[in-house]
Amino acid sequence: MAKKKSPFRRALEAAVLERHCAHHPMTQKWVKGELGRKALMGWAVEHYHWINGFLATNFMICAKAPRDVVAHELENFVEEADDKRPHIEIVLKFAKANGANLDKVRKGRGLPTTRSWRNWLINCANHEHWIAAVAALRIGTESQSPLLYSTVLPALRKHYKFKEDDIEHFWLHVEADTDHGDAGFEILERHCKTRELKDMAVAFARESAQMRWFYFDGIHLHYEMGYPLITDRNRF
C-alpha cells in the first residue's frame, strides 16, 4: 500500500505541476512526433550547456547543509560525474544523433534562456538557504524528469525510431531522477519543521519550475520556430 503523502509534499508537487515541462507546447509536439530534428538537437545542446559547469552546486549546498543532505549531494555528484559513464556525455550522444557538431557544441555557451536558468540555480545554491537550494534543484528541476522523459520516450522509439543507445539519457534518468527526486522530498520533509521553511521550499520549487519552462520556451523559439535568440549562427 502506497504511503500517504503529507500536505507539505502535495504542496511541493502542486507547485511544480503548475509549470511542469511535460506539459509544455514543445513537449506536446514531441510526443506526437511533430517536433523537428533541429529542435531535438537543440534540446540536447541546451541540456549540455545547462549541466556543464553546474555540478559545483552540489558542493555549494554541502558547505551549509546538515550531514544527511551532504551525503545525498555527494552521492548525486558521484553518479552524474562518473568517469566511466559521465551523464553529460550521454546527453551529447543524443545531440550527435540529431546532427550536432560536438566540437562546436563544446565551444558554445547556450541560449540566453539556458544561461538565465542555470545562473538562477547556481545563485540559489550559492546564496540562498540550503533548503531553498534543495527545493529549486531537486524538486523544481530534477523531480520533473521521470514524468517528462517517460512522456517523450514512446515517441523517440515509435515516431523517431532512435537506437536505444542514442536515447540512453532518457531511459536512464526516468529511474535515476525518480530516486533523486524522492530523496529531495524526504530531505525537505525531514528538515522543514516550521511554516516559514515549508513556505520557502514551496516558493523556490515553484519558481524553479517556472524557470525551466522559460528555458523550454527558448529552445522552442530558437530551434523550432526560427526566432534567433542568438545572432551568431556559428555558435551553439
pLDDT tens digit sequence for 139-193? 999 999 999 999 999 999 999 999 999 999 999 888 665 555 588 999 999 999 9
Stated length of the chain: 236
Neighbours of 112 (CB within 10 A): 12
C-alpha 11/C-alpha 106 separation (Å) is: 38
> pLDDT (tens digit, 9 = 90+) per residue, 96-114?
999 999 999 999 999 999 9
Please give the average per-residue pLDDT across 199-208, as a whole number. 98
C-alpha 156/C-alpha 170 separation (Å) is: 9
pLDDT of residue 177: 54
C-alpha 202/C-alpha 218 separation (Å) is: 25
Domains assigned to the chain: 20-223 (1.20.910.10)
Give the distance from CA 186 to its chain's centroid: 19
Q: Are 213 and 22 in contact (CB under 8 A)?
A: no
| pLDDT at residue 94 greater than cutoff 80 | yes
| pLDDT at residue 200 greater than cutoff 90 | yes
* Percentage of the residues of the chain whose pLDDT score is greater than 90: 81
C-alpha 42/C-alpha 133 separation (Å) is: 27
| pLDDT at residue 86 greater than cutoff 90 | no
Which amino acid does the sequence have at 151? T
Contacts of 182 (CB under 8 A, 6+ apart): none
C-alpha 199/C-alpha 218 separation (Å) is: 29
Q: Are 25 and 33 in contact (CB under 8 A)?
A: no
Q: What pTM does this model have?
A: 0.93
C-alpha 135/C-alpha 133 separation (Å) is: 5
DSSP string, 115-170: HHHHHHHHHHHHHS-HHHHHIIIIIIIGGGHHHHHHHHHHHHHHTS---TTTTHHH
Which amino acid does the sequence have at 48? Y
Q: Are 131 and 207 in contact (CB under 8 A)?
A: no
> pLDDT (tens digit, 9 = 90+) per residue, 58-84?
999 999 999 999 999 998 888 776 767
Q: Are 134 and 60 in contact (CB under 8 A)?
A: no
